[in-house]
Amino acid sequence: MKQAVLSATGLYTPPESISNDELVASFNTYVDRYNETHAAEIAAGERAPLSHSSAEFITKASGIESRYVVDKAGILDPDTMHPRIRTRGNDEPSLQCEMAMAAIEPCLAAAGRTAADIDAVLVACSNLPRPYPALAVEVQSALGGGAFGFDLNVACASAAFGIQTAADMIRSGSARRVLMVNPEICTAHLNFRDRDSHFIFGDVCTAALIEDADDVAPSQGFDIVGTHLQTQFSNNIRNNFGFLNRTETQPRTDADRLFVQNGRKVFKDVGPMVAEMIVDHLGAHALTAADVRRLWLHQANINMNTLIAKRVLGRPATAAEMPSVFAEYGNTSSASPVIVFHQYAGDLAPGEIGVMSGFGAGYSAGSVILRRR
Ligand code: CO8
């Protein structure tokens, strides 16, 4: 079997960012207007008033301080509270395709490759722009390569599933170079009127190139030592947006067609599940916590990651062992462990090992063991 190498990554960060204070000010204006509009019903006990959000709560509960977004004005406008994205014609590139290209270009440059070198494009992300044509085929066309492409959707674990799929292609010899890209516009499916979750997500795109080791310089990138995926059905993170919406006999509310979660339950279920998965995966490769120099974890909640790292390492992780980008990026779904890897992998010495892990809705989780070449 061939050896797969994660040879390079790329990151595209949208130019606009929203701080917790800005987000909370917009949310609280919405709440004040709602309570004013419904003052009579609230006074009569017929309707519950809405409560203010707080920047202190957000930072303490999640570790998030800001998030990059594709449209700041629309999200912060209390009359809109979602991004406003220009409708594109069929002959124009979609916004996610543009984001993908902006992450792919630095990724290819870092690997010393061009579009002509690519055999396959995988788009792996939580939210796709349409059912068809596949976004990956659009990206392939924008690249100008003769590759093939397909989309993969496994929520926040999508990048781990994408890396395993790419690595399997390399291992089996069906492709030599696979681009895996994660264009996430999470804010388009976030309910900015929901106090429990309005602060969680941001927008970003990451790309990773997975190649046949025979084609990669001996000191470039990371050997993919092993990949492991697992899923377990849960409704604790759910989005009922879908192609059957217009056929449903009971029309769904707007809120029901956006991201909804039972965050506390997710925290309790997913943290231990991911820790156990990583420990077992290391064990399957005759590795232990002592072999792990770094954890590149999905950025859903700093407290959840602290717990996962402690269970994996058997002690609290140092900041160097478990770097984070929560504060700056928030949760960017599938892209988030790739951002952490992109920013915090360059200092590993040859032979040193790290684990990348994505996890979220499904539930779905994946672990990728990487060794610096
Ligand atoms: N401001 C002030 N107070 C608040 C707020 C707020 N914004 N929100 C809640 N509170 C209050 C609550 O009312 C509650 O008050 P009380 O104790 O009086 O009842 C108190 O704060 C505590 O509330 P919670 O128990 O809900 O707070 P938690 O400590 O659990 O923190 C979190 C909430 C941060 C959401 C936390 O539970 C969490 O992060 N859990 C893990 C979630 C997770 O990992 N989710 C993964 C989702 S990612 C994924 O799979 C991708 C899906 C696809 C992406 C689609 C993009 C849209």
**Best probe residue, ligand 1, of 56, 261, 326, 359 (max atoms within 8 Å of C-beta):** 261
pLDDT at 312: 97
Cα–Cα distance for residue pair 108/8, rounded to 1 Å: 7
Band of the pLDDT at 152, cuts 50, 70, 90?
Answer: very high
**Best probe residue, ligand 1, of 192, 301, 324 (max atoms within 8 Å of C-beta):** 301
- For the stretch 288-331, pLDDT in tens is 999 999 999 999 999 999 999 999 999 999 999 999 999 999 99
pLDDT at 53: 98
Q: What is the Å distance from ligand 1's center to 110 Cα?
A: 37
Residues in the ligand 1 pocket, defined by CB under 6 Å? 53-54, 57-58, 61-62, 126-127, 155-156, 186, 189-190, 195-196, 201, 237, 259, 261, 263-264, 266-267, 300-301, 304, 331, 333, 360-361
**Best probe residue, ligand 1, of 60, 69, 195, 236 (max atoms within 8 Å of C-beta):** 195
DSSP state letter for 321? T
pLDDT at residue 231 above 90? yes
Domain boundaries, the chain: 222-372
Residue nearest to atom 1 of ligand 1 (CA): 53
DSSP string, 252-284: PPTGGGS-EE-HHHHHHHHHHHHHHHHHHHHHH
pLDDT at 147: 83
Mean pLDDT of the chain: 96
150 beta partners:
122
pLDDT at 347: 97
26-51: average pLDDT: 97
pLDDT at residue 232 above 80? yes
139 neighbors 147 (Cβ within 8 angstroms): no
Cα–Cα distance for residue pair 332/184, rounded to 1 Å: 7
How are beta strands 120-124 and 148-152 bridged, if at all?
Answer: parallel
pLDDT at 145: 77
- In ligand 1, the atom with minimum distance to the C-alpha of 360 is 50
R_g of the chain, CA atoms, integer Å = 21
90 neighbors 125 (Cβ within 8 angstroms): no
pLDDT at residue 261 above 80? yes
Fold of 222-372: Peroxisomal Thiolase; Chain A, domain 1 (3.40.47)
Tokens representing 328? 């700056």
The catalytic residue positions are: 156
pLDDT at 288: 95
- For the stretch 55-85, pLDDT in tens is 999 999 999 999 999 999 999 999 999 999 9
164-186: average pLDDT: 97
